[in-house]
Amino acid sequence: MVSASFRGVAFDLDGTLLRSDHSVSPEMRSLCSALTGQGLLVTLISSRPPRSVEQIAGSLGLQGPWAALNGAFIFGPGRTMLDRSSLPEATVEHILARYGRDERISLNLYAGFDWIVQAADRRVRAEADIVGFPPTVDAGFSSRPAIEKLLMITDEGSSDNVRLAEELAALDDGIAVARSKDNYIEITRSKIDKGRALAFIAERRGLSAREMIAAGDGENDIPMLKACGLPIAMGHSPQPLKQAAELVVGSNDDDSLTDAIGRLFRAALAP
């Protein structure tokens, strides 16, 4: 019944498709191969930069489209740009002027496949280890193209995280503010989120978002789960995401998500 109703699945990456060591389990790799082999759409919708999403998609043999930067940049094979939504320049200037010298925050700018930072500090180096490549260092952000996403990284467990998110949301400068992790504050253009990206990608394949299953684990995944036909939350997700889900699975390290999606598409995967 499920396989007749749903035509694909969209995965968040960190904490969802990827294990805690940022690798893909053999079981998940096999599932993605089986689903795409049956003509089903398997896509990645992540806050990661496009270059990192591209690397993971390539390793899984996915054909695209995919979304990066929390949905602000949608692209396909060969780095074909399908949609991009840049932040208002005045808003970027305002945020940089207000927070650019705050040592509690590491500011990261994303413009297409470029990742730009003021300094490769310890927070930035940790992020580089996660995504698999280093950023470009431009002290003071002296020269920059149009920006699709601005990421603020604070220290884990810091009391500044909630306050910063609230301050940014209160700016009302045509931006959307979401947290992908407790200490990661994602800033994109207003109304640009993973839900919009899911609808865009599904339409490119002649589908609706309601024909898609979607899985995630962060607050920034809530729009995607609300847009899809069957929302799945990981067991470690914050409560608001679990409330948006119809199914809650276990850890990203125990292949419970792989098992659940495999059962849902069993008829489609049958030889």
Residues of each domain in the chain carrying CATH 3.40.50.1000: 2-84+192-269
Q: Quick check: 47 pLDDT over 70?
A: yes
Predicted TM-score (pTM) of the model is 0.92
Preceding omega of 65 cis (within 30 degrees of 0): yes
Q: What gap in Å lies between CA 57 and CA 67, rounded to an integer? A: 11
Question: SS3 string of 19-47?
Answer: CCCCCCCHHHHHHHHHHHHCCCEEEEECC
pLDDT, one tens digit per residue, over 134-180 is: 999 998 888 788 999 999 999 988 877 778 888 887 876 688 888 88
CATH 3.30.1240.10 residue ranges in the chain? 89-189
- What pLDDT is attached to residue 143? 77
Render pLDDT for 205-240 as a digit per residue (tens, 0 to 9): 999 999 999 999 999 999 999 999 999 999 999 999
d(CA 145, CA 89): 10
In the chain, what is the greatest distance between 2 CA atoms, to the nearest angstrom?
A: 59
DSSP H helices, 176-219, are: 194-204
Quote the CA–CA distance of 185 and 267 in Å, as a whole number. 40
DSSP, residue by residue, 103-119: TT-EEEEEETTEEEES-
Note the CATH number of domain 89-189: 3.30.1240.10
Q: What percent of the chain has pLDDT over 90?
A: 79
Q: Does the domain at residues 2-84+192-269 carry the CATH identifier 2.60.40.10? A: no
pLDDT at 160 (0 to 100):
79
Predicted pLDDT of residue 267: 57
